[in-house]
Structure 1
């Protein structure tokens, strides 16, 4: 930046120096989030990590807001069922993703083995082992969901707590502040 451009104003009235410039090679940077088949583990924001992200949601705030919308026990129970059904859908989605990824890894193992790429095959087998561990964890989630235990239960308890807080908030706001 030259000395004279420091005081120069652009069309918005801001100094030219304040406007960030785009690097020349910015288009060369890839924002591809797809799974790469090199490295030590299968972690691409997909698979079991979708389940963990779902269960980390703020179900307490969701329950609180739902109670403010409709403080009805039937409404609460329906929303609890929806949480469970959404998790079931997500588990099925993750299982499909894992099955597809396993087929891809097996194909690459066999074809790279035939080509004599021993180190690459070893890396792929590590990925395959990690993927098998993830598949087992998803099966555990699925079994726990069927008997309403595990991390799913944490989400439900959080939702119920929020719902109860919302109902208490309604009572506090409308009845306990009234003077007789």
Structure 2
């Protein structure tokens, strides 16, 4: 019996070693080594590529919104000229509010960066101070640009008034579509 015990213990030891060897090498998922994604799918966003990720982007985003489609739908809901004029006034008011919000944010950012420049200068962190001064210059340039944009809005510059013209075009298209639709219904009823 001693021999059989020795043989069985040896076989069990071999099974345990094989199991231990297999446990040491974990199964690695395929996605760690193979990229099965569509090579033509572009995950980058143009707003991330061209945006500054600073408050001025709020104004640019507002100017690039699709006012033509909004106006088209507004015309279908209420084809009244006074409704169009009120909506144009609201758009202009919203733009002015955004200007105020963004300028206020920049004022806060500049005030905060001035504090950091002063305190880091006193601590002798000259490299950091230079970086902060550079960032402050960027903020000041943005404030200057925002002030120019506000002036251009009042002067009627095309790039600032394009959203209003886009709204006008969309509203006109909506009116035309509504008229054509009504004419088709009238012609079909005859």
TM-score range, shorter chain: 0.7 to 0.9
Map 1:36-55 to 2 at 5 A. Answer: 43-44=52-53, 46-55=54-63
Q: What is the distance in 2 between the residues matched to 1:143 and 1:150?
A: 12
Q: What is the distance in 1 between the residues matched to 2:158 and 2:130?
A: 34
Q: Which residue in the other structure is 1:68 paired with?
A: 76
Deviation of 1:122 after TM superposition, in Å, equals 0.9
| 1:68-109 per-position Cα deviation (integer Å, ceiling 9, x unaligned) | 111111111111111100000000001100100000111111
Q: Which residue in the other structure is 1:87 paired with?
A: 95
> Which runs of 5 or more structure 1 residues have no equivalent in the other structure?
1-41
Q: What is the distance in 1 between the residues matched to 2:103 and 2:168?
A: 28
Q: Which residue in the other structure is 1:116 paired with?
A: 124
| 2:155 is equivalent to residue 147 of structure 1 | yes
CA distance 1:150–1:109, shift in 2 (3 Å) = farther
Q: Which has the larger radius of gyration?
A: 2
Matched positions, count: 139
Q: What is the distance in 1 between the residues matched to 2:52 and 2:116?
A: 18
1:58 aligned residue (50, 55, 66): 66
| 1:35-86 per-position Cα deviation (integer Å, ceiling 9, x unaligned) | xxxxxxx943x42111011111100001101101111111111111111000
Higher helix share: 2
Contact kept, 8 Å, 1:141 with 1:150, in 2: the verdict is no
| 2:184 is equivalent to residue 165 of structure 1 | no
Q: TM-score, normalised by structure 1?
A: 0.72
Taking only aligned residues, the RMSD between alpha carbons, in angstroms, comes to 1.8
Q: Which residue in the other structure is 1:35 paired with?
A: none
Q: TM-score, normalised by structure 2?
A: 0.69
| 1:12-40 per-position Cα deviation (integer Å, ceiling 9, x unaligned) | xxxxxxxxxxxxxxxxxxxxxxxxxxxxx
Q: What is the distance in 1 between the residues matched to 2:158 and 2:97?
A: 17
> Which runs of 5 or more structure 2 residues have no equivalent in the other structure?
1-50
